[in-house]
Chains A and B, each alone.
Chain A
Amino acid sequence: MSRNGVLSLLLAFVPFVAMCFSVALWDRVYPLVFGLPFNLFWLVAWIPLTSLSMWGVYHLWNRHEDSRTSPAGKEPPK
Chain B
Amino acid sequence: MTPSVVAMTIIFGIILVGAITGVYAGFRRQMSLEQWTVGGRGFGLVLIWLLMAGEVYTTFAFLGASGWAYSRGGPTLYIVAYLTLAYVVSFFILPRIWEAGRKFSLHTQADFFQQRYGSKYLAALVAVVGFLFIIPYLQLQLTGLGLIVQIASFDAISRPLAITIAFIVVAGFVLSSGIRAVAWVSVLKDTLMLVAAFSIGIGVPYHYFGGIKPMFQALVQAKVQHLTMPGSTATMGHTWYISTVLLTSLGFYMWPHAFCSVFTAKSGNTLRRNAVIMPLYTITLPLLFFVGYTAILVTPGLKNGDLALLSTVRKTFSPWFLGLVGGAGALTAMVPAAILILAAGTLFAKNFFRPLFAPSMSDAGVARLAKVMVVMITALAMYFAIYSSTTLVGLLLFAYSGIAQFFPGVVLGLFWKRVTALGVFAGLVVGVGCDMFLIFTKHDPFHGLNAGFIALCLNLIVTTVVSATTVAEPDRFEEQVATAVAADAVM
Contact = CB atoms under 8 A, between A and B. Distances in A.
Given A23-B241, A44-B283, A54 B276 contact: yes
Interface string A20-35: 1101100111001011
B334 to A, nearest CB: 27
B141 to A, nearest CB: 25
Interface string A29-53: 1001011110110011011101101
A7 interface: no
B228 A54 contact: no
A35 B211 contact: yes
Contacts, number: 108
Interface string B235-248: 00010011001100
B280 interface: yes
Interface residues of B, number: 39
B84 interface: yes
Interface residues on A, range: 20 to 34
A40 B286 contact: yes
A44 B85 contact: no
Interface in B195-240: 211-217, 220, 224, 227-229, 238
B147 to A, nearest CB: 25
Contact of A55 (B80, B229, B276): B276
Q: What is the predominant secondary structure among interface residues of chain A facing chain B?
A: helix
B242 A35 contact: no
Nearest to A41: B286
**Chief secondary structure at chain B's binding surface:** helix
Nearest to A42: B77
Nearest to B243: A20
A37 B80 CA distance: 14
A57 B90 CA distance: 12
B91 A47 contact: no
B238 A12 contact: no
B86 to A, nearest CB: 11
A4 to B, nearest CB: 14
Given A15-B84, A58-B273, A61-B272, A29 B286 contact: no
Lowest 7 CB-CB distances: which A-B pairs, in order?
A35-B213, A19-B81, A54-B276, A50-B279, A51-B279, A43-B80, A20-B245
Interface of B: 74, 77, 80-81, 84-85, 87-88, 91-92, 211-217, 220, 224, 227-229, 238, 241-242, 245-246, 249, 272-273, 275-277, 279-280, 282-283, 286, 289
23 contacts: A20-B85, A20-B246, A23-B229, A24-B238, A27-B241, A29-B228, A32-B220, A35-B213, A35-B215, A35-B217, A40-B286, A43-B84, A44-B283, A44-B286, A47-B279, A48-B279, A50-B85, A50-B87, A50-B279, A53-B88, A57-B276, A58-B273, A58-B276
Interface of A: 9, 12, 15-16, 19-21, 23-24, 27-29, 32, 34-37, 39-40, 43-44, 46-48, 50-51, 53-55, 57-58, 61
